[in-house]
């Protein structure tokens, strides 16, 4: 095995090897000639001393531990157990009090659990061996066990009494048994007397007798009610201050008894006069008896309930449960006092040990100080002085003053340090040469200058950049390379650079205009970085000529502002220029005009002859318009077949003729593409720009509206915006406001889904529902589709509404089908969705995410939409059917070529146009049309749905024609869709609920 290198043969990588002196002393060979060897020896000596001191301290600690009465872990465990006993006692008392206030299984179980924990705590105390006061501790624990057993028995009795009203209130049953029959007898006798009085009403005195018996009966009822409240107050049922309630009720009962007694006394006087009948005399005698007996029972009951032990659980709580809890608390506190006394004895022993350890620490301190002084002496002679000599040599080398002579040393580390210094000097010289080569060949210019801006050094690239042969002997300042009076002087970077505030520019790249030594100027990129050299702060600047980069940016900017096909300025440039024109007109009070040009037959040419022909048409149009505009006017292509012309300094009375000249220039041109010749025409809207114009958007909207009016006049026309058109522009602005409301409804879920049932004709069952959409307005009402869908189609928001409806319908139907697995939804798609290439993929993802079967959805498109773009319609319907969803053709029969396209469209359902269905009951022609559409659809294997079923007569005819499905107000009106939130019984039908 290879032995590790010894200090004598090891050296730093790349350093020259030195021969070992032959006369090196034997101390070197023993390993003490190196810092590491001597450090090892010092560590061994120090370790032996510390080991001896530690053994001595351990002996004293062991002696102290033997005098301890209890291990620290056991003492800590005892404190925890005693604390837990106190906590469990508190829990038991609290739980018992809660049970007494509100009896229940929870309070009972909590009390029993706390008592069980106390028993476990006492057992845990017994398991720990105490070395002091053993007999007293055992006696205390035995007493605690006995007290706990007795306490459990008494608490069990109390709990049993608390839940049994007859045991808790022993006088209650007797009181009720005695007073209730008397109450009923009194009411019966008084009723008999009053009835007898009615029977003899014509006799003298009977009205008064009837009134006296009635008053006695009424006050007896009051006594009964107050007596029941009196009992409830004793039971704690009444809310409020119980003593106050009892005192008040007792007074009320007493007053009522006295009132009844007064009435009976007056009746007795009437009896002595002979005015009472036989039944009335008998009733009076019994009522007097009942009053006397009832008063005695009440006084007896009141004496019972006012007694100290009127509840049977009170003596147990006072004499048995409470004292036992108190004795357990006292025993626990006594054990805690014993434990604290033991801890004090242990503390005294530890104090003695700490005194002895203090003396040992002073011995350690003395040893450490001695060894430190010895180590410092060795460090000073063998380490610090040689390192100081090497540091001075490094300083001399950095100042170019040559290397000081280094004294010889027998320390391996110091010798290695000297050799490393020699090697470093060689490497520094080599790196300096490489750095100079890099600076000399760098492609970027590099300047070094001081905090005054005076340039000290420059590389060849910088000299070539500025045309310098060498730097002037008088010095050149950074400010002198800046071109005078730059337009960018107002910019922060140029200003800071001229003010010599270089620290504010560090790390930032700026662009300035620099001056060449021969006088010309050029754009320059500059980036400044600080360099700190001792007490001097220098700066380096990377400089680069960016002329080519700026030229490229100018080219890209021009490309961004021009149309790639026609070379005209594009919409972006036009928008900014229009804003500038509006601002300029408002300042100078000039008149300008905007022409909005839209080609009339561009879509036809583009669709019939192809996109190449359309591009050629746009190029020729731009050339014709370009030849017509003045040199100072601006011609732009907004996009598609829309162009604009900004006319500067134009009088209002000339705008009509100018606009007409542009129209005629295009109308007189014949477009040739191959052998095809086509006429060109356009619709032009014009709007004046004057001092009252507020914004560029206002001008563009007016010109756009004027172009729209020109198209309404029959195309190939012009229209100049006039004051009477303001109202119509306001209507367009209202549409734009609607577009914002629609976007808000999409983003904030303000749409509301409603569903209309579609009934199967054969079984008259409803499992399919058409999903419709509404908007919830700010006051809680709903806006019908006719109020916002036309605006959504004009502003390109219809496809986003379709996506919102699809996503929310899938989520709702997935939740509904958990209760009604046969439910299905039919969702309408707008014409904008036909061109949505990602729609089918979105539907598939949402179905997978909600775990909804694709067959539960049917997607409808109108016949007009399908015929307008048959290719896109076929593609989208095919993609939907591939997912597994059904498809339907809505409003079938509204187009003249309905039957021709029906064969090729991949649809499962055909919805017959409601215009025919609604009149078929009294119009034979409409009935024949419905019959023909139904028969042809069935012949092609498609099912039919009749819309606008408004009455029973229409329904009967549709059933006779064997139409498959029915939809209309007679079947069911649209209602808001509500998703069920709670499980229902399996045989309970799901019905849409109104909000």
Annotated catalytic residue within 121, 196, 641, 891: 641
| Span 438-470, pLDDT tens digits | 777 776 788 888 878 788 888 888 778 888 877
Contacts of residue 832, Cβ cutoff 8 Å, sequence gap at least 6:
793, 796, 798, 799, 802
Q: Which uninterrupted H or E stretch holds 671?
A: strand 670-673
Cα separation, 6 vs 297, in Å, equals: 117
Q: What is the per-residue pLDDT for 64?
A: 57
Q: Average the pLDDT over 31-51 and give the result.
A: 72
Q: What is the per-residue pLDDT for 57?
A: 72
Strand pairing class (943-946; 965-966): parallel
**Strands annotated E in 473-520:** 476-477, 509-515
Q: Which residue has the higher pLDDT, 314 or 975?
A: 975
Q: Are 650 and 658 in contact (CB under 8 A)?
A: yes
| Span 608-634, pLDDT tens digits | 778 888 889 999 999 999 999 988 899
Structure tokens at 160: 């049993």
**Cβ neighbours of 562 (radius 10 Å):** 17
- Quick one: DSSP state of residue 34? S
Q: What pTM value is reported for the model?
A: 0.35
At 512 the three-state DSSP class reads: strand
Q: Which residue has the higher pLDDT, 541 or 552?
A: 541
| Span 893-926, pLDDT tens digits | 755 455 667 777 899 999 998 888 988 989 888 8
| Span 266-288, pLDDT tens digits | 989 988 988 888 888 898 899 89
| pLDDT surpasses 50 at 7 | no
Contacts of residue 218, Cβ cutoff 8 Å, sequence gap at least 6:
none
Q: What is the per-residue pLDDT for 947?
A: 93
**DSSP string computed for 228-247:** HHHHHHHHT-S-S-HHHHHH
φ and ψ of 600, to 5 deg = -80, -40
Contacts of residue 85, Cβ cutoff 8 Å, sequence gap at least 6:
118, 121, 122, 125, 332
Q: How confident is the model at residue 13 (pLDDT cuts 50, 70, 90)?
A: very low
Q: What counts of helices (H) and strands (E) characterise the chain?
A: 32, 23
Question: HSE (CB half, 13 Å, CA atoms) of 530?
Answer: 12
Q: Average the pLDDT over 731-745 and give the result.
A: 68
Q: What is the per-residue pLDDT for 685?
A: 93
- List of domains in the chain: 72-166+315-342 (1.20.120.1730), 170-310 (1.20.1440), 442-551 (3.30.450.20), 562-721 (3.30.70.270), 738-976 (3.20.20.450)
Q: Average the pLDDT over 717-732 and give the result.
A: 75
Q: How confident is the model at residue 940 (pLDDT cuts 50, 70, 90)?
A: confident
**DSSP string computed for 195-241:** HHHHHTTTSTTHHHHHHHHHHHHHHHHHHHHHHHHHHHHHHT-S-S-
Q: What is the per-residue pLDDT for 825?
A: 96
**Cβ neighbours of 677 (radius 10 Å):** 9
| Residue in this structure with the two tokens 């295009």, named with its chain if needed | 666
Cα separation, 555 vs 558, in Å, equals: 5
Cα separation, 483 vs 512, in Å, equals: 8
φ and ψ of 824, to 5 deg = -140, 155
At 619 the three-state DSSP class reads: helix
Comparing CA positions, the residue from 67, 105, 741, 771 lying closest to residue 352 is 67
Structure tokens at 945: 């749905």
Q: What is the per-residue pLDDT for 829?
A: 92
Strand pairing class (445-449; 454-458): antiparallel
Q: How far is CA 897 from its chain centroid?
A: 53
Q: Which uninterrupted H or E stretch holds 644?
A: strand 642-647
Measured CA distances, 775 to 253, 752, 792, 968 (Å) = 68, 6, 12, 22
Cα separation, 265 vs 272, in Å, equals: 11
Q: Are 331 and 212 in contact (CB under 8 A)?
A: no
Report the chain's mean pLDDT, rounded to a whole number.
79
Q: What is the per-residue pLDDT for 433?
A: 72
φ and ψ of 36, to 5 deg = -65, -45
- Of 189-198, 254-263, 333-342, 977-986, the one with minimum mean pLDDT is 977-986
Cα separation, 442 vs 541, in Å, equals: 13
Cα separation, 94 vs 803, in Å, equals: 62
Q: Which residue has the higher pLDDT, 421 or 840?
A: 840
User: Which residues are 770's β-sheet partners?
Assistant: 756, 826
Q: Are 230 and 249 in contact (CB under 8 A)?
A: yes
Cα separation, 376 vs 383, in Å, equals: 10
Comparing CA positions, the residue from 542, 671, 551, 543 lying closest to residue 606 is 671
Structure tokens at 582: 């509006």
Q: What is the per-residue pLDDT for 516?
A: 81
- Buried/exposed 453-472: b ≥16 CB within 10 Å, e otherwise: bbbeebbebbbebbebeebe
**Cβ neighbours of 111 (radius 10 Å):** 25
| pLDDT surpasses 60 at 984 | no
Strongest mean pLDDT among 416-420, 605-609, 798-802, 967-971:
967-971
- Of 104-108, 149-153, 340-344, the one with minimum mean pLDDT is 340-344
φ and ψ of 616, to 5 deg = -65, -40
| pLDDT surpasses 60 at 983 | no
**3-state SS string over 803-836?**
HHHHHHHHHHHHHHCCCCCCCEEEEECCHHHHHC
| Span 242-261, pLDDT tens digits | 566 777 888 888 888 899 89
| Span 822-876, pLDDT tens digits | 999 999 998 888 888 889 999 999 999 999 999 999 999 988 788 767 888 889 9
Cα separation, 621 vs 663, in Å, equals: 11
Q: How confident is the model at residue 176 (pLDDT cuts 50, 70, 90)?
A: low
| Span 200-244, pLDDT tens digits | 888 888 888 888 888 888 888 888 888 877 777 666 554 455 566
641 catalytic? Reply is yes
| Span 631-659, pLDDT tens digits | 889 999 988 889 999 999 888 899 999 99
Q: Sign of dihedral through CA atoms 758, 761, 764, 765?
A: negative
| Span 345-357, pLDDT tens digits | 666 666 766 777 7
Contacts of residue 91, Cβ cutoff 8 Å, sequence gap at least 6:
110, 114, 117
Q: Which residue has the higher pLDDT, 11 or 235?
A: 235
Sheet holding 592-599, edge to edge: 634-639, 642-647, 592-599, 682-689, 718-720
Structure tokens at 345: 């004895």
Comparing CA positions, the residue from 466, 653, 648, 617 lying closest to residue 541 is 466
At 542 the three-state DSSP class reads: strand
Contacts of residue 441, Cβ cutoff 8 Å, sequence gap at least 6:
460
| Residue in this structure with the two tokens 């006397």, named with its chain if needed | 292
Strand pairing class (536-545; 634-639): unpaired
φ and ψ of 943, to 5 deg = -90, 155
**Strands annotated E in 697-853:** 718-720, 751-760, 766-776, 782-783, 824-828
Measured CA distances, 832 to 319, 460, 861 (Å) = 90, 65, 11
Comparing CA positions, the residue from 432, 433, 472, 459 lying closest to residue 540 is 459
Q: What is the per-residue pLDDT for 993?
A: 36
CA triple 448-451-456, angle to 5 deg: 30
Structure tokens at 358: 């203090």
Taking only Cα atoms into account, the Rg of the chain, rounded to an integer number of angstroms, comes to 55
Q: What is the per-residue pLDDT for 405?
A: 63
H-helix segments, 14-104? 26-27, 35-67, 72-101
């Amino acid at each position: 095995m290879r032995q590790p290198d010894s200090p004598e043969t090891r050296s730093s990588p790349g350093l020259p090897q030195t021969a070992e002196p032959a006369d090196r002393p034997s101390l070197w060979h023993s390993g003490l000639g190196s810092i590491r060897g001597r450090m090892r020896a010092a560590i061994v000596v120090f370790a032996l001393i510390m080991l001896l001191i530690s053994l001595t301290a351990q002996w004293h600690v062991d002696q102290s531990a033997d005098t301890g009465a209890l291990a620290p872990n056991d003492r800590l465990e005892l404190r925890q157990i005693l604390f837990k006993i106190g906590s469990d006692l508190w829990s038991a008392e609290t739980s018992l009090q809660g049970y007494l206030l509100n009896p229940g299984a929870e309070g009972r179980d909590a009390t029993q659990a706390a008592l069980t924990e106390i028993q476990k705590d006492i057992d845990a105390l017994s398991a720990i061996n105490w070395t002091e006061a053993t007999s007293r501790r055992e006696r205390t624990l035995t007493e605690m066990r006995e007290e706990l057993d007795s306490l459990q028995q008494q608490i069990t009795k109390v709990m049993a009494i608390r839940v049994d009203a007859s045991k808790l209130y022993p006088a209650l049953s007797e009181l009720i048994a005695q007073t209730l029959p008397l109450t009923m007898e009194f009411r019966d006798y008084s009723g008999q007397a009053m009835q007898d009085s009615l029977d003899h009403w014509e006799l003298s005195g009977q009205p008064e007798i009837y009134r006296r018996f009635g008053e006695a009966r009424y006050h007896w009822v009051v006594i009964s009610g107050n007596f029941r409240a009196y009992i409830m107050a004793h039971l704690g049922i009444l809310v409020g201050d119980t003593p106050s309630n009892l005192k008040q009720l007792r007074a009320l009962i007493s007053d009522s008894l006295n009132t009844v007694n007064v009435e009976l006394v007056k009746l007795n006087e009437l009896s002595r006069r002979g005015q009472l009948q036989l039944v009335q005399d008998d009733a009076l005698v019994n009522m007097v008896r009942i009053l006397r007996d009832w008063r005695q029972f009440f006084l007896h009951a009141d004496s019972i309930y006012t007694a100290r032990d009127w509840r049977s659980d009170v003596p147990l709580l006072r004499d048995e449960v409470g004292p036992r809890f108190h004795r357990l608390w006292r025993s626990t506190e006594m054990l805690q006092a014993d434990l604290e006394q033991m801890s004090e004895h242990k503390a005294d022993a530890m104090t003695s040990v700490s005194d002895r350890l203090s003396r040992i620490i002073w011995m350690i301190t003395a040893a450490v100080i001695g060894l430190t002084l010895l180590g410092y002496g060795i460090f000073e002679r063998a380490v610090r002085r040689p390192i100081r000599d090497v540091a001075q040599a490094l300083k001399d080398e950095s100042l170019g003053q040559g290397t000081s002579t280094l004294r010889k040393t027998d320390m391996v580390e110091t010798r290695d340090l000297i050799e490393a210094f020699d090697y470093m000097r060689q490497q520094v010289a080599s790196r300096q040469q490489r750095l100079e080569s890099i600076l000399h060949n760098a492609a970027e210019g590099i300047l070094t200058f001081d905090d005054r801006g005076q340039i000290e050094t420059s590389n060849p690239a910088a000299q070539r950049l500025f045309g310098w042969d060498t730097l002037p002997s008088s010095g050149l300042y950074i400010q002198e390379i800046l071109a005078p009076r730059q337009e960018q002087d107002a910019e922060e970077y140029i200003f800071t650079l001229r003010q010599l505030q270089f620290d504010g520019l560090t790390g930032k790249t700026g662009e300035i205009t620099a001056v060449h030594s021969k006088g010309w100027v050029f754009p320059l990129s500059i980036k400044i970085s600080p360099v700190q050299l001792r007490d001097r702060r220098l700066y380096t600047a990377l400089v680069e000529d960016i002329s080519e980069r700026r030229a490229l940016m100018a080219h890209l900017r021009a490309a961004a502002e021009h149309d790639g096909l026609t070379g005209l300025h594009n919409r972006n440039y036009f928008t900014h220029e229009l804003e500038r024109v509006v601002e300029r007109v408002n300042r100078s009070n000039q008149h300008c005009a905007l022409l909005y040009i839209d080609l009339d037959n561009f879509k036809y040419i583009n669709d019939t002859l192809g996109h190449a022909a359309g591009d050629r048409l746009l190029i020729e149009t731009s050339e014709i318009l370009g030849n017509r505009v003045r040199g100072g006017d601006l011609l732009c292509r907004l996009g598609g077949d829309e162009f604009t012309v900004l006319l500067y300094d134009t009088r209002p009375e000339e705008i009509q003729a100018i606009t007409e000249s542009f129209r005629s220039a295009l109308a007189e041109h014949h477009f040739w593409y191959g052998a095809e010749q086509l006429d060109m025409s356009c619709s032009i809207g014009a709007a004046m720009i004057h001092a009252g114009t507020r914004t560029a958007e206002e001008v563009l909207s007016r010109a756009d509206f004027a172009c729209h009016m020109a198209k309404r006049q029959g195309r190939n026309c012009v229209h100049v915006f006039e004051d009477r058109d303001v109202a119509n522009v306001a209507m367009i602005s209202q549409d734009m406001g609607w577009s914002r409301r629609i976007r808000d409804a999409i983003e904030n879920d303000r749409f509301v889904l409603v569903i209309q049932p579609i009934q199967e004709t054969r079984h008259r069952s409803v499992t399919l529902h058409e999903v419709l959409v509404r908007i919830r307005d700010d006051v809680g009402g709903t806006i019908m589709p006719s109020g916002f869908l036309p605006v959504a189609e004009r502003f390109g928001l219809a496809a986003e509404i379709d996506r919102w409806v699809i996503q929310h319908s899938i989520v709702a139907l997935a939740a509904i089908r958990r209760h009604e697995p046969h439910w299905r939804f039919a969702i309408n798609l707008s014409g904008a969705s036909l061109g949505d290439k990602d729609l089918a993929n979105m539907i598939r993802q949402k179905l997978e995410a909600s775990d909804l079967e694709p067959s539960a959805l049917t997607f409808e498109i109108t016949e007009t939409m399908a015929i307008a773009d048959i290719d896109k319609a076929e593609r989208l319907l095919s993609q939907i059917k591939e997912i597994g969803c059904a498809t339907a053709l809505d409003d079938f029969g509204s187009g003249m070529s309905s039957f021709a396209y029906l064969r090729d469209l991949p649809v499962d359902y055909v919805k017959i146009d409601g215009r025919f269905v609604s009149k078929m009951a009294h119009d034979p022609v409409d009935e024949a049309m419905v019959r023909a559409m139904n028969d042809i659809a069935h012949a092609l294997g498609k099912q039919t749905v009749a819309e606008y079923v408004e009455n029973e007569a229409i329904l009967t005819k549709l059933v006779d024609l064997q139409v498959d499905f029915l939809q209309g107000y007679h079947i069911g009106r649209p209602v808001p869709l509500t998703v069920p939130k709670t499980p229902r019984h399996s045989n309970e039908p799901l019905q849409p609920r109104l909000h």
